Structure 1
C-alpha cells in the first residue's frame, strides 16, 4: 500500500513546483505512472486463495478495488481540464492537490 501512498503524496509538491504551462501534463502523466504501478497488484503469483499477500499487503479480493481507485485519479484530472480552463493558476493547483 505504501507503494501507492508515497508517490501519490509526492504529487502535491510536483504540482505546486511545476511551470504554469505544464501543470496538467505533469500531474496527469505522474498519476498515470502511479496507476501503471498499481497494476502489479493484480499479478499476485501463486496466490489463488484469500490469503494476504506479503509483498503488497492486500488480499486477492481487494486488489481490483485498489487498482480501480488509483485509475480514477488520472481520469478525473482529464475530465476536469476543460472545466477549470478559466480558473486562476492557484485554484487549478489547489484542485489537483485536493484530488
Structure 2
C-alpha cells in the first residue's frame, strides 16, 4: 500500500563459507520481494543455509511460502532461520513457531 513515502527498503545478501550459505535479509519481505529472498538462498550450492531475518520489518504469506520452500529443500536440519520479532509473530500465527528450523535469539 502506497502511503506516499519512500519505498520500503529491502535487501538480501548471501555469503558462502564452504558448504554453508548465510543469507541476511532486511526490510519488508512480501509478494514483491519474497522470490528474491528465496533465489538468494538458492543461488549457491550449499548443504546448509542460515536465513537471518532479524532485520525484517514486515513478513507476509508470500514470505512464509518462500521459507516453507526452503525448509522442504533442506529437510534434515540444513535450514536455520533467525527471525525478527515481527517474523516470529507471523510464523506463530501461521502455526510454524514449533518448526525445528526456527531459532529464536
Give TM-score scaled by structure 1 length.
0.28
**TM-score (ref. length: structure 2):** 0.27
RCO (CA 8 Å, sep 6+): is it higher in 1 or 2? 1
Larger radius of gyration: 1
**Structure richer in strand, relative to its length:** 2
